[in-house]
Structure 1
């Protein structure tokens, strides 16, 4: 049996977008809008207690499952959700994420905070932070192209 481990970590990423908080928030709140920069959800119920669920991965590679529950939603201000990430049938991590939207200089400062436990060496906080930065950069590209 492989050794079991739990690594706890918190990371914060800030991004500035030249779009209003309402526009940036909408990119998280609508299924079609979010699918333009985040893997398309099989289930998307954007409300407190609602679920976001998707599966996918590289061709021929493992299937990853993202399963989130929205804990708090404050229009144009804050989204808090908890989620698990699995690789095939193995739990990789459990996280609580807060996404804050602040109005600054005619745009938005997005503050993304993730508090997670990364399990059994299947993922690391550093890998997750890197992937999240790529995702938030993609969000900016999509907003700029609209």
Structure 2
């Protein structure tokens, strides 16, 4: 039965942004900022219900998918080096069904053009292989972050 199978995967997405590493890092760690750019093509206007950015802190967000199913993200921060990196574990639910469990890291490094972001995710899908879609969603989210950063005054 397909629903009993586990599918393992991993991917890395790297992007360079014309913004300071501090500003890029804050885009992930400040609830108000993250709420402005977060989401992907499949999940519109997610609401960040909780973002407690500290080791052991939790993040919870919900959004509606194009298919009408609710997408629920529940994560816990495992490691944080301010303005440099963080590691988190999370579970995704779609339509009330547990879809995947992952561990991910975000590194924000100084770059001559501003900041280089390295996002790495690895984990397991329950019952279906969805890594290609997860990577596509992450790439879309990084594009949305770039668009939001481009509207911001670096001096602000």
TM-score (norm 2): 0.88
- For 1:59 and 1:141, how far apart are their aligned partners in 2? 22
Contact 2:16 2:113 in 1 (8 A): no
Could you tell me which residue of structure 1 aligns to residue 41 of structure 2? none
1:120-139 equivalences in 2 (<5 Å)? 120-121=127-128, 124-139=130-145
Look up the match of 2:99.
92
Cα gap change, 1:113 to 1:60, in 2 (>3 Å): closer
Structure 1 residue aligned with 2:50: 43
CA distance in structure 2 between the partners assigned to 1:100 and 1:11 by the alignment: 14
Q: Does 1:61 align with 2:68?
A: yes
When structure 1 is superposed on structure 2, of 12-21 and 31-40 the one drifting more is 31-40
Alignment match, 1:116 = 123
User: How many angstroms apart in 1 are the aligned matches of 2:111 and 2:67?
Assistant: 44
Shift of 1:89: 2.4
How far apart, in 2, do the equivalents of 1:36 and 1:56 lie? 13
CA distance in 2, matches of 1:36, 1:137: 13
Instruction: Call closer, same or farther: CA 1:49–1:137 in 2, change over 3 Å.
Output: same
* TM-score, normalised by the number of residues in structure 1: 0.93
Residue in 2 that maps onto 1:141: 147
Compute the RMSD of aligned alpha carbons: 1.5
Q: Which runs of 4 or more aligned residues in structure 1 lie more than 2 Å from their structure 2 counterparts after TM superposition?
A: none
Give the unaligned 5+ runs of structure 1. Answer: none
Answer yes or no: is the 8 Å Cα contact 2:13–2:120 preserved in 1. Answer: yes
Separation (CA, whole Å) in 1 of partners of 2:67 and 2:106: 33
